[in-house]
Structure 1
Amino acid sequence: MSLRCAGLFISKELSASSQLATQFRNLNLTSMRQAHFLKNSPNAALNKTLLDRYRHLETPKDRVQATYLWIDGTGENIRLKDRVLNKVPSGVEDLPNWQYDGSSTYQASGENSDTTLIPRAMYRDPFKPGKNDLLVMCDTYSADGKPTPSNKRAACQQAMEKVADQEPWFGIEQEYTLLDVEGRPFGWPEGGFPAPQGPYYCGVGADRVYARDLVEAHAIACLYAGIDFAGTNAEVMPAQWEYQVGPSTGLKASDDLWVSRYILQRIAEEYGIVVTFDPKPMDGPWNGAGAHHNFSTKAMRGEGGMKVIEDAIKKLSKHQERHIRAYDPKEGKDNERRLVGRLETSSIDKFSWGIANRGSSVRIPRGVATAGKGYFEDRRPSSNCDPYAVCNALVRTCLLDE
């Protein structure tokens, strides 16, 4: 059997000594590539220790630095700006609304560009020195007071309020890929490819895992912030990782996921590494990246819950097109590259489900089937999905029968 990589065929029948030499050569190229990249990355070249000289300066106790976060008009990128508050807020309701130039974020025209930020959730800020400094997740509103097109949170909140008595829980598995500034997966040999997939998933070793320290820093920062952070693992493609948030009730998992994405990208800035949530960053025999959503209700988690799960899956089977449109920011165009019916994905055109089947649209974990209750995993959402849109679609189809 042979492996096709960028039009070149690498014979599997290489001798053992030739394979070993290739591995050492790739490792050397990787090390040289990383050293060259870090040396020439503007962010990584900065001396980070200089900031510590200022972090220890005493600031007024009644002043709080608040970093307002929002989703821009692309539906997949975070923007932010900071403001200083004159008192420590006791809750999100104490935070003032704010405005920004929506014409610079693909959300308004220059003639009427003021766009409003309304704070919805707040977190401890792992990047600021003050113990009261905050990250503030906001949603966005146009000049007419209506949600901007990229504000999927408003509709999601309406749905969650209608089904609050059913206690919907969400757990989200966020996959992502690390790149250098030239767009090459981080740690991949220059001008070539690493060995085929197989040894990298949950792997250990310098030839299998890249940038673990960044991943662990992200986990610590998310826990500090107050995110329901559940864990991390190296993924199937080298330079690809996953972390999980939840399970959380209602909107919190979606809020947490957006804030955790921001924290990840901020930490990656310091390492001089680029984070991409593209669902298919590398063509060819490499796994894509998803954001699997694990969903349950009080009835699904209770005795006899398997029947409730199966009923919900039947409803999902009737709305494949609707959910595909909701599951990536480009209404299915990004997922077309990922959901191809192989490499642990289902077909974008056909709904399927199964027990412990990672090639299906919806998977019921083996443990859930054995217990007869629990949750199901929707494997269709892309890694760059808006979790508000995904959770909204799940609730409206499964619980509101829309």
Structure 2
Amino acid sequence: MSVQNVLNLIKEKNIEWVDFRFVGLSGKAQHISLPATEVDEETFVNGVAFDGSSIPGFRGIEQSDMVMMPDTETAYIDPFTAHPTLIIMSNIHTPDGDRYDRDPRSIAQKAEEYLQTTGIGTQAFFAPESEFFIFDDVRYENGMNKSYFEVDSEEAGWNTGRKEEGGNLAYKVPVKGGYVPVAPIDSQQDIRSEMCNKLADAGLRIERHHHEVATAGQAEINFRFDSLTKTADNLLKYKYIVANTAREYGKVATFMPKPLFGDNGSGMHVHMSIFNEGEPLFYEKGAYANLSELAIHYIGGILYHAPALIAITNPSTNSFKRLVPGYEAPVNLVFSKGNRSAAVRIPIAAVTPKGCRIEFRTPDSTANPYLAFAAMLMAGLDGIKKKIDPRALGYGPFDTNIYEMSDAEKAEIRSVPGTLEEALDALAADSEFLTEGGVFTQDFIDNYIELKRGEAKQVAIRIHPHEYNLYFDC
């Protein structure tokens, strides 16, 4: 969409406000709104100024001036505002006009540019399956003398005996019993459909939605794959629309990986493939899972670099509450066709040559999608360039249920890091693959590690309620 087309859209739809957005290191969107009457061609040439020192991990107060440079291709109408508002994503530049090397969106674009310089392919496609919970009530507090959280859902398995409903209507979702039941057990069909309608109006191609495995309103909506940066843009749009549609229904949505103890967490399985001038490069008929050797080497790069990669794809302390055995969590760094207990799965049902892809199941939605997708691509490309063979390294294929293997057999399988600190240590030791072609800078990686270590420390030094169970009577 050209600048003129955006200006025409503003007039045609009687837009009152233009909301310019960028994304910080955390992956959360930030925004500044301008009156539509103040937006003209110069706005798209000169950008929109903001204070970079107020964004964690960006700049100090002595270098705070930064500029959002709008990307007109991302424009869509906000479905929630009372005053007609147009949303536009932006890249971040310095006042000198240079691309800011800590801007996650620019890093995603540099990863796409790097792919084209390798001669391997011309385009990488991504499709995330970002799961979430829809709760009715969320309360939490952390202080000197108290620490707790409490969530509730009308369909939660723990509410089979609740009287406050004015007559309990039963049909609650059992623990681990929420995968695709029909109503009345699935009470959230309409809210998910409304989310999908709004997403479609905002430009996403919706493929399906359904209730997920966990109790208490776990859900999933799938949208069509696209190129790396566009998919990251779409994921931010997805999370924004899901959260605000839930709010319209008097509910709250969260993409937190593990909000409930004792049931499945929410992942963000990411499907990936590479094309060259429109031709798929991951397909080879008759090979294992119909995968080409290039795809096998891509998997090799993902699995070889996985400990470091996970610092970016699972960048929260809560991520590692999900990455434990027993809850369909992909903790095993192996690959397999159709096996959901492996970190890398190759879908084999109803797959065409163009649909041939790999699925990295470890990530979750605390990840900044621009950074996560870029890092995955860089790991895969490193595997292709170095011909990393996951078969030779003992990464599979494993086509049996790994959770049912003996302890001795499991001991031979490499697992994901156990904590965020372990993942950050791995990233500190293995980051060279990210800096190829200047996609990630070492300054960015060092800054990112420092920021995330600070988050981990905030959790580590706080008293956990369960410590009272374990140690109060010592």
1:69 offset after TM fit, Å? 2.4
Q: Which residue identity is paired with 1:169? A: F
Please state if 1:127 is matched with 2:83.
no
Mapped partners of 2:87, 2:355: distance in 1 = 36
Corresponding position of 1:300: 281
1:361 to 343, 347, 353: 343
Aligned pairs (5 A) from 1:316-395: 316-330=302-316, 333-347=317-331, 350-367=332-349, 374-395=356-377
> In the aligned structure 2, how far is the partner of 1:140 from the partner of 1:168?
23
Match of 1:233 among 174, 192, 210: 210
CA distance in 2, matches of 1:116, 1:205: 49
CA contact (8 A) 1:178 1:275 kept: yes
Structure-1 residue corresponding to 2:267: 290
Letter in 1 for 2:36: L
**Which amino acid is the alignment partner of residue 160 of structure 1?**
E
Residue 97 (structure 1) aligned with residue 82 (structure 2) = no
Q: Residue by residue, what CA displacement relative to the aligned partner does 1:120-169 show, whole Å, maximum 9, x if unpaired? A: 342321335788x52112244567866374x3222221110122443211
Aligned-pair distance for 1:76? 3.6
Equivalent position SS for 2:126: strand
Is contact 2:282–2:295 with CA below 8 Å preserved after alignment?
Answer: no
SS across alignment from 2:302: helix
Shift of residue 282 of structure 1? 0.5
1:203 Cα deviation after fit? 1.9
* 1:115-264 superposed matches below 5 A: 115-120=66-71, 121-125=73-77, 126-127=79-80, 133-141=85-93, 147=100, 149=102, 151-164=103-116, 165-179=121-135, 180-182=137-139, 183-188=150-155, 192=159, 196-206=174-184, 208-238=185-215, 239-264=217-242
1:391 CA displacement: 1.4
Give me the whole-angstrom Cα distance separating, in 1, the residues matched to 2:153 and 2:231. 28
Give the Å deviation of 1:327.
0.4
Residues 375, 210 of structure 1: alpha-carbon distance in 2 compared, 3 angstrom cutoff: same
**Matched AA of 1:270:** E
8 Å contact kept, 2:199–2:241: yes
* Equivalence for 1:275: 253
The CA distance in 2 between the partners of 1:363 and 1:192, in whole Å, is 35
Letter in 1 for 2:186: V
Residue by residue over 1:30-83, the C-alpha shift from the partner in whole angstroms, topping out at 9 and shown as x without a partner, is xxxxxxxxxxxxxxxxxxxxxxxxxxxx9897765222223345x043333321
CA–CA separation in structure 1 for the residues paired with 2:106 and 2:157: 45
Deviations 1:165-218 (A, max 9, x none): 432111111111122243514325597575533542122223x22433322221
* Change beyond 3 A, Cα 1:212–1:297: same
CA 1:141/1:177 → structure 2, altered by over 3 Å: closer, same or farther? farther
Query: How big is each residue's C-alpha offset from its partner over 1:322-366, in whole Å with a ceiling of 9 and x where there is no partner?
Result: 211120233xx332111113211122xx51111111111000112
| TM-score for both structures, normalised by structure 2 | 0.62
Residue segments in structure 2 that go unaligned for 5+ positions in a row: 1-9, 140-149, 161-171, 386-432, 434-474
Distance 1:187 1:114, change over 3 A: farther
Match of 1:77 in 2: 28
Which residue identity is paired with 2:308? R
The AA in structure 1 aligned to 2:128 is I
Change (3 A) 1:376 1:59: closer
The one-letter amino acid of 1:327's match is T
Contact kept? 1:140, 1:147, Cα under 8 Å: yes
Question: 1:68 & 1:351 partners in 2: Cα distance?
Answer: 40
Q: Secondary structure at the match of 2:330?
A: coil
Cα 1:191–1:198 shift into 2, 3 Å: closer
Contact 2:21–2:88 (CA under 8 A) maintained in structure 1: yes
Question: Displacement, 1:104?
Answer: 4.5
Contact 1:306 1:372 (8 Å CA) reproduced: no
Compared CA separation, residues 399 and 93, structure 1 to 2 (3 A): farther
Give the SS at the match of 1:309. Answer: helix
Distance 2:274 2:49 in 1: 37
Code of the aligned partner of 1:232: H
1:293 Cα deviation from its structure 2 partner: 0.6
2:321 maps to amino acid: R
In 2: Cα distance, 1:93 partner to 1:81 partner? 13
Could you tell me how far 1:228 is from its partner in structure 2? Answer: 3.6
Q: Where does residue 29 of structure 1 map in the other structure?
A: none
CA RMSD of aligned residues (A): 3.4
- Name whichever of 270-279 and 356-365 sits farther off: 270-279
Residues 372, 276 of structure 1: alpha-carbon distance in 2 compared, 3 angstrom cutoff: closer
Q: Which runs of 5+ in 1 are unaligned?
A: 1-57
Q: Could you tell me whether the CA contact under 8 Å between 1:355 and 1:369 is conserved in 2?
A: no
- 8 Å Cα contact 1:280-1:338 kept in structure 2: yes
Q: Residues 293 and 379 of structure 1 are in contact (CA less than 8 Å); yes or no, is this contact kept in structure 2? A: yes
Greater mean alpha carbon deviation, residues 182-191 or residues 227-236: 182-191
Cα offset, 1:102, TM superposition: 4.1
